[in-house]
Amino acid sequence: MGDILGYARVSTGDQDVAGQMIRLKAAGATRHFEDVVSGRTFDRPGLRALLEYARPGDLLMVVRLDRLGRSLRELLEVVERLKERSIALVSLEEKIDTSSVAGELVFHVFGAIAHFERRLIAERTRDGIAAARAEGRTPGRPPLNPEKLQASIILIQNGMSPTKAARQVGLGRSTVYRELAMMPSSARQTA
């Protein structure tokens, strides 16, 4: 049997991983990795270091599954990466151990539910688009108003920031930045 690698994560610097670390050590984790980062981002240096360190036969242990991933999709992706490398996952709160047949079954059930949810969302989207078309509406973004775009370019050329120019003419800031990026630099100066 390999090492038991503990992983703890908190969302902000105001929180403390100490409570998680105590539980992980008590459960037998011999090496610990941690992150102080929001679950919204998947750029987690501690988790990355754990995955680089882990070897086949090791076990990744967390206090709760939400410490490992914010969504079911993220969790399933991590578990699949672990499985490909012959590394099991244990969650203390949910009492899940993917090294056991029952634990693996639970994750397959989670995966089936996530797949079902994705298909429901796609079906609802298709239904919404069909209903909009039946009512004579065109789904999606409205076409870009060329006069508003030209006005924003003139404002930017006269020294206004793209953000203020977008607000002034009633366009989205990202739209103005995107259109600026697509224009050749000579056109930006003379537009």
When computed from its CA atoms, the radius of gyration of the chain, rounded to whole angstroms, is: 25
Choosing from 11, 86, 152, 174, which is the catalytic residue?
11
Examine the residue annotation and report whether 11 is marked as an active-site residue of this protein.
yes
What would the two tokens of residue 74 be?
């993220």
The residue type of 38 is S
DSSP the chain: ---EEEEEEESSTTS-SHHHHHHHHHTT--EEEEEES-TT----HHHHHHHHH--TT-EEEESSGGGT-SSHHHHHHHHHHHHHTT-EEEETTTTEETTSHHHHHHHHHHHHHHHHHHHHHHHHHHHHHHHHHHTT---SPPPP-HHHHHHHHHHHHTT--HHHHHHHHT--HHHHHHHHHHS-HHHHHH-
Q: Using an 8 Å Cβ cutoff, are 46 and 7 in contact?
A: yes
Which positions are annotated as active-site residues? 11
